[in-house]
A and B are shown apart, each in its own frame.
With several copies, the nearest count.
Chain A
C-alpha cells in the first residue's frame, strides 16, 4: 500500500529479522516482501512462534507413550488418554513480559490465552494452576507486581469459572523487573471429541468469532522475543491487551456447543500474532490455503491498517472453519451466546495465505513455508564461569547452626517457603465442585465427573476419574547446576504427585531463560533440557507440550534459569487420595529415603533455602538427583498408599526435613482463621556424624515423611525396605509441639507459633 514504509535494513532489523533471514524470505517468496508481509514474517519467525533457537534442543524430549493421543507440537495442546474413552488436554504458557509491563492485565490475559488453547482442542477446561516468580518482597515495586499478577489471575479465572487449584510462588532477586507468570490449564474430553486446528475442505467458509480487533498487543510475539528493556516496555505499554473473561466464557460455551454439531471443520484460537498466526497455521496443518478479507474483520478503532489488523493480539477471538452449507447452524449458536462474529474468507487449494483488504491483495504468502520453515539455529553453548565459584564452596566456610530454633522460624517465615494462602484464597479453587484436595497440600486433586466433559453432563453411567496436578521448579538449584536442578524439578513434581496418591502420566514444561545469544545462558538451557528429558523419561511422563520464554533479562542480567515443570497424574481410587497433614494422635512418623543423600559433601545444603536465609548466600553444588531412587521411592509410596497403610505423605523440598515436619503438623485449615494443629515427637538421635544444620535443613532429594497408624508402622517400614527404599520410624504424632531430638541436642517448637509465622508472612508483607 502506498502509505506503507519502504523496506530498509533498519526496518528489517526493527522487526527482529537478520539480513540472512531476510534473504531467506526473499528466496521463499521469490520477490521482495511488502511491509505487511514483512510484519507477518517477523511474528511468525519470532522465537515465540517459531522456536527457532530451541527447536533443535526440544527434539530431545520424550514425547511418546501409549497414552498420547495428540503429541507435543501437533496442535495447540497435547492430549492424553485416561481410560474409558476419556482424555485430558493440558498445557502451560508464559506471559512474562506482558505482566512486567502491566501485571493485572498481563497475568489475566495469560490465563485467558491458555484456557483458549485448551477449549480449542474440544476439551472443557476444568482447572488451572500457575507458577509465579518475583523479586524480593521487601521492594515495593515487587509488591505492586505481585499484587497485580495475583489479582489478574484471580479476576480472569474466577470470572471465567475455572478453579485455580495449585501453583507455586518464589521470590528471588534475579526476577526483579522480570517476573515470571506461567499459567497452566487442563481440560477434559472424549476421544471422539478431539478438534483440529486445520483448515480442511476447499471452499469452506472461515469465521471470525469474538470481540472486534483493536490495536492491543501489537506484535506481542515479537515483544516476547527480545530482551525486556525500558524501550521495549514503553512500546508495549501503548498497546496493553485487556482481558474479558466474560466474553471468553461465552466463547468457550459456544465453541463446545458448536463442535458437538459436527459443523466445524477446523478451529484455532487467535493467540500470539492473532489473525496472522491462526490463518497460516490452520492452512499449513490442513495442507490448504486460506483467503481472507480484512475489511470483513470487525474493528474497534477507526483507520486500522492491514498491518495492524493482522498483528493485533486482541483477546478472546477464535478462527473457525465451517463445513460449507452449515453456516446457519453456526450463526444460530453464536447468536444464542450473543457473540459477535463475521465470515471473513474461505479455504482454498492454493497453499497460499492470501490477505485482501477491500478486495485488494495485501499479502500473498505460502502458508506451509511461513509456518514450518522458520530458520533453525544451533546456538553456541559455553559453560558459565560462575559455576567454578559455585563448585568451590565448602561447608568449612560456615559454622554449624547454633540456633536451629530460630533458623526454622526464619525459614518458615521466608516468603518462598511461607504459606501461599494470601495468593490462593483470592482464587476460586472450588468452582465446578470437583476439587478433592484444595491448594495447600503437595498436589491438587480433582475428580472428573460427567459435567467435566462437553455434552456429557446428563450421562448417568459416567466413569468418574481422579487426577492430581503439581507444578515445581527449584530455580536456585537449576542456577547452580542446570542439569541436576532440572532433573530434580521433574522428580519433585513426581514426588508431589506420589504423595497425593497419583501416578504421573504426562508433563508440560515452561522454559524461562535469558537471551539465547549468550553462550553461557544457552548452555543453561541445553543442560536443563537434558535434565528434564531424563527426568520425564524416568517417570514415563512424556512431554505433551510446553512453552519457551527466552530473553528474560533485566538490566542486571538474566533471571535464574527456570524450567517450570507441571505434571499430571491419575489416582486410581478415591480411597487413595492422600494429603500432607498428620491425621491422628499416636500415629507413627516414618521417613522414607536416606536421611541425607549419599556422597554429597554438602549434605544437601548446596543451594538450600537455609544457606540463603541464614547465611545470605546462593552457593554450592546442589544435591544430585538419582532418578532410579526417585522412581522406586514413588512407586513404593504409591503401593503403600494403595494398600491403605498411609495416612499422610509430604515430600522434603525447600527447607529440608525440619520444614517438612513442621508443615505436616500444621494441618489443613478447618475454617477461616481456624487452623488445626497436631504436633509430633521426632527422634533423629541415631543419625550421627552429620552437622545438625544439614540434618535439619539440608535438601537432599528422595525423601518423604509419611504417617501411618501405630500398628501399621512396622509393616510399612518393612514393606518399604523390601522394595529397596530406606525407611525408619522417626517419631509419633501428638501434642502441640514439634519436638526434635538430635544426637547432641533436643529442640521444641510450639506449633501454633510456627504456624502463625508461616501462615501470615506473605499477608503481612502485603498489608
Chain B
C-alpha cells in the first residue's frame, strides 16, 4: 500500500523557503498571495495491513521522518 507523509514547518518556525516563494510569486505579478509554507511530501510503498502500516509509520515519522522540534507531520494511507 502507498503511504504518504506530509511534513510542514511548525507555525513558530521561520520558513525561509516559504518566505522566498511568497516574495517571488508577488514579484512575478501573482496577486492575492498570503502566507506560503514549504514542507516535504514523502511517498512510501509499504507491505502490510492498514493499522500495522500506520503504527509502524507513525513510529518512524516521530523519530526519523520529521523533526518534532521544527516540524509537524500528517500521515495518509491509501487503501
A and B touch in the complex (CB under 8 A): yes
Q: Residues of A at under 8 Å CB distance from B? A: 101-102, 104-105, 211, 214-216, 237, 239-244, 246-247, 300-301, 314-315, 338
A238 to chain B, nearest CB (A): 8
Listed residue (B16, B20, B67) with the most chain A CB atoms within 10 angstroms of its CB: B16
Q: Given A105-B70, A240-B69, A242-B70 in contact, is the A216-B16 Cβ separation under 8 Å?
A: no
Contacts of A301 in B (CB 8 A): 11-12
Q: Residues of B at under 8 Å CB distance from A? A: 9, 11-16, 19-20, 23, 67-70
- Structural contact, B16 and A101, CB atoms closer than 8 A: no
Residue among B16, B20, B69 making CB contact with A237, cutoff 8 Å:
B69
Give the distance in Å from the alpha carbon of A242 to the alpha carbon of B19 in the complex. 13
Considering the complex of A and B, which 10 residue pairs feature the smallest CB-CB distances, nearest first?
A244-B16, A242-B14, A102-B69, A240-B69, A240-B70, A237-B69, A215-B12, A242-B13, A214-B14, A301-B12
Give the distance in Å from the alpha carbon of A247 to the alpha carbon of B15 in the complex. 12
- Structural contact, A211 and B14, CB atoms closer than 8 A: yes
Contacts of A300 in B (CB 8 A): 14
- Structural contact, A242 and B16, CB atoms closer than 8 A: yes
A241 to chain B, nearest CB (A): 8
Give the distance in Å from the alpha carbon of A243 to the alpha carbon of B14 in the complex. 8
User: Can you list 15 A-B pairs with a CB-CB distance of less than 8 A?
Assistant: A102-B69, A105-B70, A211-B16, A211-B19, A214-B13, A239-B12, A240-B69, A242-B9, A242-B15, A243-B16, A244-B14, A246-B16, A301-B11, A315-B14, A338-B23
Contacts of B68 in A (CB 8 A): 237
Closest to A237 in B: B69
Give the distance in Å from the alpha carbon of A101 to the alpha carbon of B16 in the complex. 20
Give the distance in Å from the alpha carbon of A88 to the alpha carbon of B54 in the complex. 54
Contacts of A215 in B (CB 8 A): 12
Contacts of A241 in B (CB 8 A): 14
Contacts of A102 in B (CB 8 A): 67, 69-70
Residue among B11, B12, B19, B69 making CB contact with A105, cutoff 8 Å:
B69
Give the distance in Å from the alpha carbon of A686 to the alpha carbon of B69 in the complex. 60
Give the distance in Å from the alpha carbon of A664 to the alpha carbon of B34 in the complex. 47
A437 to chain B, nearest CB (A): 32
- Structural contact, A216 and B20, CB atoms closer than 8 A: no
A209 to chain B, nearest CB (A): 15
Contacts of B11 in A (CB 8 A): 301
Q: Given A211-B19, A246-B20, A338-B23 in contact, is the A314-B69 Cβ separation under 8 Å?
A: no
B66 to chain A, nearest CB (A): 13
Q: Helix, strand, loop or mixed for chain A's interface? A: loop
Q: Given A211-B19, A246-B20, A338-B23 in contact, is the A101-B69 Cβ separation under 8 Å?
A: yes
A110 to chain B, nearest CB (A): 15
B5 to chain A, nearest CB (A): 19
Give the distance in Å from the alpha carbon of A101 to the alpha carbon of B19 in the complex. 25
Listed residue (B14, B19, B67, B69) with the most chain A CB atoms within 10 angstroms of its CB: B14
Give the distance in Å from the alpha carbon of A244 to the alpha carbon of B9 in the complex. 14
Contacts of B19 in A (CB 8 A): 211
B33 to chain A, nearest CB (A): 16
B50 to chain A, nearest CB (A): 27
Contacts of B23 in A (CB 8 A): 338
Give the distance in Å from the alpha carbon of A58 to the alpha carbon of B39 in the complex. 46
B26 to chain A, nearest CB (A): 11
A616 to chain B, nearest CB (A): 29
Contacts of B14 in A (CB 8 A): 211, 214, 216, 241-242, 244, 300, 314-315
Contacts of B20 in A (CB 8 A): 246
Residue among A104, A239, A240, A247 making CB contact with B16, cutoff 8 Å:
A247
Listed residue (B16, B20, B69, B70) with the most chain A CB atoms within 10 angstroms of its CB: B69
Give the distance in Å from the alpha carbon of A361 to the alpha carbon of B23 in the complex. 35
Contacts of A244 in B (CB 8 A): 14, 16
Give the distance in Å from the alpha carbon of A105 to the alpha carbon of B15 in the complex. 12
Give the distance in Å from the alpha carbon of A105 to the alpha carbon of B11 in the complex. 16
Contacts of B15 in A (CB 8 A): 242
Give the distance in Å from the alpha carbon of A562 to the alpha carbon of B11 in the complex. 37
A95 to chain B, nearest CB (A): 15
A766 to chain B, nearest CB (A): 12
Give the distance in Å from the alpha carbon of A237 to the alpha carbon of B12 in the complex. 12
Contacts of A243 in B (CB 8 A): 16
Contacts of A211 in B (CB 8 A): 14, 16, 19
Closest to A239 in B: B12
- Given contacts A214-B12, A242-B9, 20 further A-B pairs with CB under 8 A are A101-B69, A102-B69, A102-B70, A104-B67, A105-B69, A105-B70, A211-B16, A211-B19, A214-B13, A215-B12, A216-B12, A237-B69, A240-B69, A242-B15, A242-B16, A244-B14, A244-B16, A300-B14, A301-B12, A314-B14
A232 to chain B, nearest CB (A): 14
Contacts of B13 in A (CB 8 A): 214, 216, 240, 242
Give the distance in Å from the alpha carbon of A215 to the alpha carbon of B10 in the complex. 12
Closest to B14 in A: A242
Contacts of B9 in A (CB 8 A): 242
A521 to chain B, nearest CB (A): 29
A130 to chain B, nearest CB (A): 21
Contacts of A242 in B (CB 8 A): 9, 13-16, 70
Closest to B10 in A: A240
Contacts of A105 in B (CB 8 A): 69-70
A151 to chain B, nearest CB (A): 12
B7 to chain A, nearest CB (A): 15
Give the distance in Å from the alpha carbon of A211 to the alpha carbon of B19 in the complex. 10
Contacts of A214 in B (CB 8 A): 12-14
A259 to chain B, nearest CB (A): 25
Give the distance in Å from the alpha carbon of A240 to the alpha carbon of B15 in the complex. 12
Give the distance in Å from the alpha carbon of A162 to the alpha carbon of B7 in the complex. 30
Closest to B27 in A: A338
Give the distance in Å from the alpha carbon of A215 to the alpha carbon of B68 in the complex. 17
Give the distance in Å from the alpha carbon of A635 to the alpha carbon of B40 in the complex. 56
Contacts of B67 in A (CB 8 A): 102, 104
Give the distance in Å from the alpha carbon of A246 to the alpha carbon of B15 in the complex. 12
Closest to B68 in A: A237
Give the distance in Å from the alpha carbon of A597 to the alpha carbon of B14 in the complex. 54
Give the distance in Å from the alpha carbon of A105 to the alpha carbon of B67 in the complex. 11
B39 to chain A, nearest CB (A): 13
Give the distance in Å from the alpha carbon of A188 to the alpha carbon of B16 in the complex. 28
A670 to chain B, nearest CB (A): 27
Contacts of A104 in B (CB 8 A): 67
